[in-house]
Structure 1
């Protein structure tokens, strides 16, 4: 497979951390972005570049832009994986809680996508990670008003971008994940355990990021082994 330049957000732990290692091991060049770059930097893998990046900091987007211009010239795949979650009753969920979640899950993903698109070719792929909680008609859980509604927003954004760029590319898709055993799940739902590992889900996401846009554009795929 041709070597690709891949940007991944939220790489300090969980699925993003596994994705960075997996794709680098396959020979691809990875830019791993997270507020804490140390976990990836400490891996000392040849194909991975990493620096601290905060989706809330406007100046950090310039760092990404300069890196692409100076090091890569183009980007093949962008994986909007970073996520923020708040789990509390709606009556206790403040405007600041909503802002925090939407800044990462929607506004940050949108801005990074806007920055990266000019460096992508017609066959580029922007893949965003959503949640089954963002799927209309799916089972909903109390306490996740901010999180699940933000994940619904990224689905609609993906559909809109696919339409807007359908003539010139790149392609845009979104994966709505079921529960995965990650640190974020443990923090939001202490004691809750599921069978899907971060590494296992990362394997699926990596393959879809590299090949899914050959078959899909503007689509949301539900990636969950639970029913309903």
Structure 2
């Protein structure tokens, strides 16, 4: 039986590249994103594209039901949709914070609830949640983004414990900084979230410079290969990283919080 995968946030970056890899390996791919026109190149690879807003329950229902009605089963859901709503916690509005949570966390949860009944019925399936190394560390300006990724990690682990007895798994991929538009969008959001004459304006420049220096140079295509491993490994791990640097960064932040705080303090100075 041909495998079926659903990928969210597939209009660019890691999701776009992942759709290409799965299609190249003869999977039936359903790729969803808000910007349908940006996925047009994927259709040449046989990918089935759909307009998808993960914060809209009916949009999620339509996405999942289309795959089930056309294929009869779903093997993998890749919860990739997300973005960075950066800005100082004092000034980011709570409405904006809710939007971040709705996209990065609740959207994934909604889609998982929609695919799980069929996965349990077939006694197989995998939910791959694209988190970040930011789910185990923190930096200035990224407060609400970190909340969503910390939350996604824990949510995925709890879900995995609950569904593993049914033959279904929920696992996490934690990318580091990649060569993509993510950083530009995050810091554009940070500037847009500043209030007039904000005391945090200089901080944005400092943190942005730090991120530019810390970028690993990994590409979206590199991470898409990690997505594929997470979806296809016979014995999946709970966590997948692209590089040893990403893994060690998480280890440092989790196990040596004083050292990590010293790094954060240098970022601010």
Above 0.5 in TM-score? yes
Structure with the higher fraction of residues in helix conformation: 2
Instruction: Give the structure 2 partner of residue 86 of structure 1.
Output: 85
Instruction: Give the structure 1 partner of residue 201 of structure 2.
Output: none
Instruction: Give the structure 2 partner of residue 203 of structure 1.
Output: 225
Unaligned 5+ segments in structure 1 are none
Deviation per CA, 1:110-129: give whole Å up to 9, x if none.
00011011222323111101
SS class of match (2:130): strand
CA shift at 1:222, angstroms? 4.0
CA contact (8 A) 2:74 2:115 kept: yes
Matched, 1:163 2:180: no
Instruction: Give the structure 1 partner of residue 94 of structure 2.
Output: 95
Which whole-Å CA distance do the structure 2 matches of 1:46 and 1:70 have between them?
A: 21
CA shift at 1:225, angstroms? 4.0
Which whole-Å CA distance do the structure 2 matches of 1:31 and 1:157 have between them?
A: 24
SS class of match (2:86): coil
Residue pairs, 1:123-202, within 5 angstroms: 123-135=124-136, 138=137, 140-189=138-187, 192=212, 193-202=215-224
CA shift at 1:43, angstroms? 3.4
Which whole-Å CA distance do the structure 1 matches of 2:230 and 2:241 have between them?
A: 13
Matched, 1:221 2:240: yes
Aligned length: 221
CA contact (8 A) 2:178 2:220 kept: yes
For the structure 1 residues 25 and 225, does the alpha-carbon distance in structure 2 shift closer, same or farther, using more than 3 Å as the test? same
Deviation per CA, 1:83-104: give whole Å up to 9, x if none.
1211111111111121111101
Matched, 1:23 2:22: yes
Residue pairs, 1:49-60, within 5 angstroms: 49-60=48-59
Which whole-Å CA distance do the structure 1 matches of 2:54 and 2:77 have between them?
A: 14
Between 111-120 and 189-198, the greater mean CA deviation after superposition: 189-198
CA contact (8 A) 2:31 2:50 kept: yes
Structure 2 length normalisation: TM-score? 0.77
CA contact (8 A) 1:105 1:151 kept: yes
CA shift at 1:224, angstroms? 4.1
Flag as ranges the 4+ runs of structure 1 deviating above 4 A: none
CA contact (8 A) 1:4 1:29 kept: yes
CA shift at 1:209, angstroms? 1.3
Deviation per CA, 1:46-104: give whole Å up to 9, x if none.
53111101012122122123302320110011100111211111111111121111101
Instruction: Give the structure 1 partner of residue 253 of structure 2.
Output: none
Structure with the higher fraction of residues in strand conformation: 1
Say which one has the larger Rg.
2
Structure 1 length normalisation: TM-score? 0.89
